[in-house]
Amino acid sequence: MRTPARSKIRLAAAALVALAALSGCGSASAPSAPTGVDGLVVPTPDPRPSDFVDAIDNPWFPLLPGARWEYDVARATTEELVLEVEPGGEIAGVSTTVLVRTSSDGAVVRDHYAQDTEGNVWWFGREADTGAWEAGVDGAEAGLAMPAEPRRGDGFVSGRAGGEDEVASVVAVGDAVDVPLGEYDDTVTLEVVDSGFTRRDVYARGIGLVRTGEAGLTVFDGASASSLRSAALPRTRLASVDG
């Protein structure tokens, strides 16, 4: 038989538990805002122009008018790769910025990007001799090039065209990288799978792409690695991307 004293203790404990539960309900925290790629529809089948801004100033993917990057490309012999920013036209009703990629053999690739109001950068199309696509045409859709808040472990479609997806995932945040231009430790590393080939792109805050490729991975133009040698970014706009 249970003693009266023990019964009173158990009843008191039960009352405290109930009170704590009620208190918890009354002070529940507000839902957290989405982070990383949470809440994004990727790829986006129907982008709304009002969701996008004119400037691309994402800290890891800044495409400022007049910016220029030069890379050493490791092959049998060292070659060059140059990236430059130019104004672009409208794609699917959205104003874009063009990143022009020119290799030392004269091949030119023009990629169209736009940034949404939250700071995410989207890839809207490509012009190249080897193939072209444009969001909204023949089933192609804009994909995510760089999240506003890169989060390790996030994966997303970078672009969708011709029934195939280019897929990227954030594999590292904050790793140090050493390239000819200098050493950077505030970086984001994306692993990208495109047409069966895999590469790793490393972006530094306030600079952009500083290295692409890794041992055993395929990168731009079949090269084994590309490392940033020089960068010319408009000083009047640097404050917006340095963070």
> What pLDDT does 75 receive?
64
Report whether pLDDT(26) > 50.
no
- Residue 174 Cα distances to 27, 121, 128, 200, angstroms: 35, 20, 33, 15
- pLDDT over 80 at 78, yes or no: no
Would you state the structure tokens that stand for residue 151, as one six-digit string? Answer: 């989060």
Residue 120 belongs to a domain? yes
Q: What percent of the chain has pLDDT over 90?
A: 51
More confident residue, 2 or 135: 135
Determine, yes or no, domain membership for 140.
yes
CA distance 192 to 170: 9
pTM of the predicted model, to two decimals? Answer: 0.78
CATH number at residue 113: 2.40.360
Residue 182 lies inside a defined structural domain of this protein: yes
Is residue 26 included in any domain, yes or no?
Answer: no
Please check whether residue 127 lies inside any domain of the structure: yes
| Residue ranges making up the domain that contains 133 | 49-242
Which pLDDT does position 228 carry in this prediction? 85
Q: What is the pLDDT of residues 175-186, one digit of tens each?
A: 999 988 899 999
Nearest to 46 by CA among 135, 158, 167, 145: 135
Q: What is the pLDDT of residue 72?
A: 86
107 close to 135: Cβ distance less than 8 angstroms = no
- Contact present, 62 and 126 (Cβ < 8 Å): no
Domain presence at residue 24: no
Amino acid at 175: D
- 187 pLDDT higher than 90: yes
**Residue 54 is assigned to a structural domain of this protein:** yes
What mean pLDDT comes out for the span 9-29? Answer: 43
For the cut 80, the answer to whether the pLDDT of residue 66 exceeds it is yes
pLDDT of 209 higher than 50 = yes
Domain count for the chain? 1
- Work out the average pLDDT over 57-84: 85
Whether 126 and 133 have beta carbons less than 8 Å apart is answered as yes
pLDDT (0 to 100) of residue 35: 57
Which of 3-17, 44-58, 104-118, 148-162 is predicted with the least confidence, judged by mean pLDDT?
A: 3-17
Mean pLDDT of the chain: 80
Number of neighbours of residue 10 by Cβ within 10 angstroms:
11
Cα angle for residues 84, 89, 91 (degrees, 5° grid): 115
Q: Which residues in 164-203 are b (16+ Cβ under 10 Å) and which e?
A: ebbbbebeebeeebebebeebebbbbbbbeeeeeebbbbb
pLDDT at 19 over 60: no
Residue 173 pLDDT class (50, 70, 90 cuts): very high
**219 domain residue, yes or no:** yes
